[in-house]
Structure 1
């Protein structure tokens, strides 16, 4: 029996029509930036999202299928510090424990890229946050070990995804293009030549709310 290869992937990463994954002026009150939540509206009505947040109801269909697909076979996450919280610079204290309460929706080890060290943070439901100061390769090596053959999901933000893309380390990228215009914020593909790096579109499918695009890394083209 062939051993399944660990994939490094981005899933359900929403961007606006003008290419922004997050809006301007991110803060505690607006973690996705001013009007940034509009880019993610397609997620909140799905049945899978309702299950993630412990609620009932929600819709099935294309959007639900793509969102659920992003959660399958995951053994670890890698995220940027901005995705963990709004605190910038040295940690003032250890009080901030993420946006998600005591039981975050990850349920696997999560490696947070940061310039400032912090002890691991164990949460309910199987999530432990590890704060990595040695860069993207160190985070990926630790995530591979923790994933134990399962996939690793790069959660963002845009800058973190760009760093892994430029190194050709992401095997699959699922983006959800929404019919919104933000006008500013963090662009996903700034200074990233996807074609030169060996990425190609292998699937696109639209629902009433969003267009789903899957890019895969074709290592043979390098």
Structure 2
């Protein structure tokens, strides 16, 4: 079982200790790290990878909302896969666009939901244990006209298709739907193509394939050049 790394940003160290104790009884291998405010958390995330960020809403120096909005300044490889806000003062209403991917949980009733989040993350790590070197990091796919798809792990990429695993995918496409997509490679080269959405047999809805077609010669050359460099590396 792979270690799940969790960063908790909260100005109450007592709450951190309580949270660590409650989650520690689970069967998962969870490594908790602590930051007493958003500033410390952001500095930590610039150098360390975590799968889950749990943050308080109100904190000194940098609060939870400012911390979350600052995550986009991090290299993609250092952005947490999941972000949870725990607060005793949750405000009603719809989160802003910058916070749509965040889960908000009340501090007095968070345990059950947080256990599910940790369970899903831990199991997703185990599902791909031993295959880390095969992932193509920093590859992003945007589906035009849909909510964005930010690929955490691209399992396979060639000039015909991309196969993706992302346990926290925001996706609204149906099977066999034809979509316009843009693939952004680490070199910042953009490959534009049409693709057909395919679910993988026996996989969850969070594993899927996009089969490319209408890939012109220029975009095909960009993709082939990137793939040659990956093989050489």
TM-score normalised by L of structure 1: 0.29
Q: Which has the higher helix share?
A: 2
TM-score normalised by L of structure 2: 0.28
Q: Which has the higher contact order (CA 8 A, sep 6+)?
A: 1
The structure having more radius of gyration, on CA atoms, is 2
